[in-house]
Amino acid sequence: MKKAKIRNALRNLYAPSMALLPILVYPDPRLHTVAKPVATVDSRIAQLVDDMLETMYEAKGIGLAATQVDVHQRVIVIDTSEERNTPLVLINPALVWTSPETHLNEEGCLSVPGIYDGVVRFNEIHVQALDQKGQSQTVQAQELLAVCIQHEMDHLLGKVFVEYLSPLKRNRIKTKMIKAQREDAR
């Protein structure tokens, strides 16, 4: 066994590597599950966060909610930075303040690939949440980060952004998604 191999074996033993998680695709009914609060930020949650971050970066997303990987606990990961090196972890997020101003923003979602449409969101929000170490933090967010947090918090309530659209649009998207998944399965 070569040194490098031993090092890798040890790394796998003591720090299990991250894993890519499958992302649920709309209209999968599991996307409408309401997530439960995390009771304790333990090693299992830390592993989930690592896996979600890897999954989000791999999918080139700017945010991912645990709901989307079929884990129904209040965990969100986000990175809206240009450099993709500023992960934000929000566990048990709660909105503590919202700006009176709202705006229409074009959104997309890793669970609804290829679809972009307008949703009205608060311009600015303050969110209280735990971080990956279980420490309480308050995040003051505006612009893209604020939109992203609102979008991901909706996921934890079982809400996908297409539910803000008209029934006609939503049904069209549903049909398109089902057709695309059928073609992928072939």
What residues are labeled active site? 152
Q: How far apart are CA 70 and CA 55, in angstroms?
A: 13
Compose the 11-40 pattern: x for residues touching Ni ion by CB under 5 A, - for all others.
------------------------------
End-to-end Cα spacing for the chain: 42
Q: Which stretch binds Ni ion (CB under 5 A): 12-20, 52-60, 107-115, 169-177?
A: 107-115
Q: Which stretch binds Ni ion (CB under 5 A): 88-96, 103-111, 125-133, 141-149?
A: 103-111
Q: Which is nearer to Ni ion, 54 or 133 (CB)?
A: 54
Q: How far apart are CA 186 and CA 110, in angstroms?
A: 21
Find, among 94, 45, 76, the residue nearest to 155 by Cα: 76
109 part of the interface to Ni ion, by CB under 5 A: yes
Question: Beta 75-78 vs 117-122: how paired, if at all?
Answer: unpaired
Q: Which is nearer to Ni ion, 49 or 109 (CB)?
A: 109
CA distances to 92, 102, 105, 117 from 114, in Å = 29, 25, 16, 10
Compose the 54-93 pattern: x for residues touching Ni ion by CB under 5 A, - for all others.
----------------------------------------
Helices (H), the chain: 3-14, 43-58, 143-156, 167-185
Q: Which is nearer to Ni ion, 68 or 92 (CB)?
A: 68
Token reading at 119: 């949703």
Q: Which stretch binds Ni ion (CB under 5 A): 52-60, 96-104, 109-117, 173-181?
A: 109-117
Q: Which is nearer to Ni ion, 84 or 133 (CB)?
A: 84
Q: How many residues make contact with Ni ion (CB under 5 A)?
A: 1
Q: For the CB of residue 96, give the shortest distance to Ni ion in the complex, in Å.
A: 22
Q: For the CB of residue 114, give the shortest distance to Ni ion in the complex, in Å.
A: 13
Token reading at 153: 């918090």
- Residue 95 main-chain phi, psi, to 5 deg: -75, 125
Q: Which is nearer to Ni ion, 91 or 119 (CB)?
A: 119
Kindly state the helix (H) or strand (E) to which residue 122 belongs, with its residue range.
Answer: strand 117-122
- Residue 119 main-chain phi, psi, to 5 deg: -135, 140
**Site residues, Ni ion (CB under 5 A):** 109
